[in-house]
Amino acid sequence: MLSVSSGLCADWDAVAKDAPHTGRSRWLRLAEDRLPGSLTFRYVRDGRTQVAMRGLLLREPMRNEWLDPRMIASGQGAPLGLAADGPHPWRGRHATDVYPCLTIMYPNYDAFPVGPASAEPSALARFVGSLRVWARDHGARSIAFLYLTPDAEALCGSLRAEGFRFMPLTTRAEMAVTWRDFGGYLAGLPYKRRTSIGRELRALGEAGVSVAIEELGQVEQDLIPLRCMLTRKYRGSADPAREAAWFTRIREAFAPDEITVFTARAGAAPVAFSLFVRDGARWTALLTGMDYANPAARYSHFATMYYTPAGHAPGISVQRIFYGIASQDAKRFRGCDLIPLTAAVTP
């Protein structure tokens, strides 16, 4: 049977113990305001949760185009690199054709089933079938699974059997730490990339920019304006209170020794930062910001996001760094692998 509840069930982390780290409760709560009203869907057998995922019933389009299933499945997200090459099963569909839409995804732009039967075809088939019944009974006109990772391969088989249409959606950048020091990181890159990175680092040195690791509690007030400069550049507006809330949630979800902040300063002035959080042997680049008006800041983002972390990671036994979606060419240029993410929608 399908059990549906608001919020996370009390035993979510026990159910998701073998899932990727971003499927655990602290990660789902960290960015839950991206998907307000999310529900927990659980396929229960013999009184135990076998398969579970998170999602929500969208009654209208999302303001965030990266999260809006109709924009993605109709091809309107192609300029952003979302399902850029199609197919677009919902091309030409009006909002009234697809909303309400049961949308299954997690707030960190990924989705995969969790639970002891998360790779069991029969359990997944029952889970998907139950979702379709629930969606129909609650007035949904469509169902969309967004940002399915390779961990959802077995689920995709059940979705295909149910007639879902698939689209290559985008990619997620990840970097396997296979080197022992910064020199080893550079040596693993093609010659042209090594040369370009060398020029960037020399330019930073000539501009008097230095990169260091600093405690979040000591520099948080310096980072908020840098975050606002980034959001103003890419979103057209900035809200200092919203950015401050991000840092609060990070401190609530992660211990101090799980948070690493790389800062770039021109003299004493902060010009860029990148914040990483650690989960076991995995690092995730979570926040960044930059002073775009300061000429000295040029290349400082790359130094705090890639170069200094690459040199630091081996010494603290980080084995893999997750860099997320968007700006994939810049990430691949600096050594990331691009992992495919998929979308599946009802026809």
Predicted confidence (pLDDT) per residue in 59-116, tens digit: 999 999 999 999 999 999 999 999 999 999 999 999 999 999 999 999 999 999 999 9
Is 324 contained in some domain?
no
Paired tokens of 177: 């730490």
Looking at residues 220-239, what average pLDDT do you find? Answer: 92
Is residue 333, in this structure, part of any structural domain at all?
A: no
Give me the mean pLDDT over the 290-305 stretch.
Answer: 95
Closest CA relative to residue 307, chosen from 204, 157, 208, 228: 204
**Residue 268: its H or E element:** none
pLDDT at 237: 85
Pair (92, 162) in one structural domain: yes
In a domain, 347, yes or no: no
User: Distance between CA 95 and CA 60 in Å, rounded?
Assistant: 7
Of 149, 172, 195, the residue at which a domain comes to its end is 172
- Which pair of structure tokens corresponds to residue 107? 């707030």
Domain check: are 158 and 240 in the same one? Answer: no
Domain contains 238: yes
The answer to whether residues 153 and 55 belong to one domain is yes
Residues 4-35 pLDDT 10s: 999 898 899 999 999 999 999 999 999 999 99
Query: Quick one: 185 and 267 in the same domain?
Result: yes
Kindly state whether residues 228 and 294 are assigned to the same domain.
yes
Q: Please say which residue of 139, 172, 205 terminates a domain.
A: 172
pLDDT of 241 reads 94
- Return the amino acid letter for 129: G
**Distances in whole angstroms, Cα of residue 136 to Cα of each of 95, 105, 161, 279, 347:** 17, 19, 18, 38, 14
Task: Give the domain-ending residue among 143, 172, 201.
Answer: 172
Q: Which residues of 313-338 are buried (b: 16+ CB within 10 A; e: fewer)?
A: bbeeebebbbbbbbebeebbbbbbeb
195 and 268 belong to one structural domain: yes
Residues 196 and 102 in one domain: no
Q: Output Rg (C-alpha) for the chain, integer angstroms.
A: 21
The structural domain count of the chain equals 2
Q: Where in the sequence is the domain holding 127, given as residue range(s)?
A: 2-172
Instruction: State whether 234 and 158 are in the same domain.
Output: no
- Residue 339 falls inside a structural domain: no
Residue 320: band (very low, low, confident or very high) from pLDDT cuts 50, 70, 90: very high
Q: Indicate if 194 and 161 belong to the same structural domain.
A: no
Are the C-beta atoms of residues 55 and 38 closer than 8 Å to each other? yes
Question: Which amino acid, 338?
Answer: L
* Same domain for 126 and 207: no
Q: What was the pLDDT predicted at 343?
A: 98
- Whole-model pTM: value is 0.94
Predicted pLDDT at 141: 98
Buried/exposed 161-190: b ≥16 CB within 10 Å, e otherwise: eeebbbbebbbbbbbebebeebeebbeeee
158, 77: one domain: yes
Please report which confidence band the pLDDT of residue 235 belongs to, taking 50, 70 and 90 as the band edges.
confident
**Alpha-helix runs per DSSP H in 236-335:** 240-253, 300-302, 308-312, 328-333
User: What CATH number should be reported for the domain holding residue 222?
Assistant: 3.40.630.30
Check whether 125 has a pLDDT greater than 90. Answer: yes
pLDDT at residue 100, as a whole number? 98
Residue 227 located in a structural domain: yes
Query: Is residue 323 one of the residues assigned to a domain?
Result: no
In a domain, 263, yes or no: yes
List pLDDT tens digits, range 196-226: 999 999 999 999 999 999 999 999 999 999 9
Question: Are 6 and 153 within one domain?
Answer: yes
